Amino acid sequence: MLQICPKYREAAALDPSLVDFLAAGSAGWQKDAVILRSLLIDFGDKWEDFGRPGQNLYRPSRKEAVKLRNRMDQVQSTHRLKEHLSQLLGCDTDEWVTTEQWEEVLPKSLEEYRPFMASCVEEARSTNADEAMATARANKLWPFDRR
């Protein structure tokens, strides 16, 4: 790796929040406001550590920060679920399946969907949350439409 990217050692020594912030443009993260705002908060938390003058210009209120963390958790959960399903089903994370694979992929998808929904409902029961709301949230999180 060091031969392919000679400056890798220097980049690896940087703070991860700085690397994530700098990589946001090339990684396509600028298209998602939740991710970009989260990166700005992480970067702002270490503003002085990076030797930046003055104060960070992006300072959301505590209420906004909590709301953003919840949304970021949802985004990350959706991303992990999509990655898991794309590996399991042999398709892209954009949920496209070739026509030739459809008959093979659909049963696998349904096989994963049932335990996923059962665990979401079980979690709602254990926390005395509304099951209908938990089911709606889980359906929103599930990336594939064909249930």
39, 24 in Cβ contact below 8 A? yes
- Tell me which DSSP letter residue 145 carries: -
Condensed to tens digits (0 to 9), the pLDDT of residues 77-103 reads 888 888 888 888 888 777 778 888 888
Work out the average pLDDT over 17-25: 74
* CA 11 and chain centroid, separation: 23
Burial per residue of 60-93, b for 16 or more beta-carbon CB atoms within 10 angstroms, e otherwise:
eeeeeeeebeeebeeeeeeeebbeebbeebebee
pTM recorded for the entire structure: 0.66
